[in-house]
């Protein structure tokens, strides 16, 4: 199955708090990111978790410990027991350690976000492109300078940029990936196909009304693109 990920990074600075409500809308899964070398970025995870639940409800969340490469120099700053405790406390989907510098688990992170979105699939308008193609809005959330944009950029470009600038307000990139159908529960695949057929029927009714009114409606995929934008 083809999955198009629209990956959003919301700035961690407090002055951009007012953006949150809009950008949490329509999210399918979240990567909650902290910097493994800065304990304070782990300590304020609670605040970001509350934001996610307030604006997006009970969507899947993966906890991400980024900059894992620094452990070689400074050791383990945040005890693993505390991390596992947080995963259990908030019923997070899982915990993944990443390093954009070494490209460690970067692909794994975004594939897992895509799969969690599929497992929690709900027929949101704008996500179904075809019976074998869905689009999901994914957020990376966390404090400033934990490497959210760098993770997204590394996933898309397959390289690490030393001088990647800090995000101002938001950062957005899109990437396609393929998930083998064997990795997706059969009932989820069937549900997506039924949802697409239902959407297509509604589209035909809209097209007919448009033709009756002398208007030329957009294609199904253009309607989907409009919803994503």
Reading the block at residue 174, the tokens are: 């899109």
Taking each helix axis as running N to C, give the angle between helix 148-157 and helix 106-119, from 0 to 180 degrees, rounded to the nearest 10. Answer: 100
Note the pLDDT of residue 95: 97
DSSP element (H, E) containing 211? helix 186-212
Residue 32 to residue 28: CA distance in whole angstroms: 13
Structural domain boundaries in the chain: 2-186
DSSP-assigned beta bridge partners for residue 175: 5
| CATH architecture, range 2-186 | 3-Layer(aba) Sandwich (3.40)
Minimal CA–CA distance to 100: which of 153, 31, 171, 167?
A: 153
CA atoms lying within 13 Å on the CB side of residue 159: 5
Dihedral of CA atoms 70, 71, 74, 76 in degrees, nearest 10, equals: 140
Instruction: For the chain, 229 residues long, give each residue's pLDDT as a single digit of tens.
Output: 899 999 988 765 444 455 566 778 889 999 999 999 999 999 989 988 988 898 888 999 999 999 999 988 888 899 999 999 999 999 999 999 999 999 999 999 999 999 999 888 776 645 888 888 999 999 999 888 899 989 999 999 998 877 655 544 456 899 999 999 888 888 888 888 888 877 777 666 665 665 556 655 554 444 444 443 3
* Contact yes or no for 33/140 (Cβ under 8 A): yes
Q: What is the pLDDT of residues 93-141, one digit of tens each?
A: 999 999 999 999 999 999 999 999 988 877 664 588 888 899 999 999 9
Note the pLDDT of residue 11: 60
* Contact yes or no for 110/155 (Cβ under 8 A): yes
Minimal CA–CA distance to 137: which of 223, 19, 214, 23?
A: 23
């Amino acid at each position: 199955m083809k999955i198009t990920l629209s990956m959003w990074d919301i700035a961690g600075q407090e002055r951009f708090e007012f953006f949150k409500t809009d950008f949490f809308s329509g999210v399918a899964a979240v990567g909650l990111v902290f910097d493994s070398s800065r304990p304070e970025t782990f300590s304020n995870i609670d605040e970001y978790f509350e934001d996610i639940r307030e604006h997006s409800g009970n969507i899947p969340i993966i906890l991400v410990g980024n900059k894992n490469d620094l452990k070689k120099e400074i050791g383990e700053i945040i005890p693993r027991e505390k991390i596992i405790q947080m995963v259990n406390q908030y019923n997070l989907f899982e915990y993944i350690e990443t390093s954009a510098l070494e490209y460690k688990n970067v692909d794994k992170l975004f594939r897992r976000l895509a799969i969690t979105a599929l497992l929690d699939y709900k027929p949101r308008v704008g996500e179904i492109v075809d019976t074998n193609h869905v689009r999901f809005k994914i957020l990376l959330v966390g404090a400033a300078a934990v490497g959210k944009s760098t993770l997204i950029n590394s996933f898309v470009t397959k390289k690490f940029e030393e001088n990647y600038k800090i995000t101002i307000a938001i950062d957005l990139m899109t990437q396609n990936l393929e998930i083998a159908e064997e990795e997706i529960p059969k009932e989820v695949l069937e549900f997506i196909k039924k949802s697409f057929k239902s959407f297509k029927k509604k589209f035909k009714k809209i097209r007919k009304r448009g033709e009756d009114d002398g208007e030329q409606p957009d294609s199904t995929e253009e309607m989907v693109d409009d919803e994503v934008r």
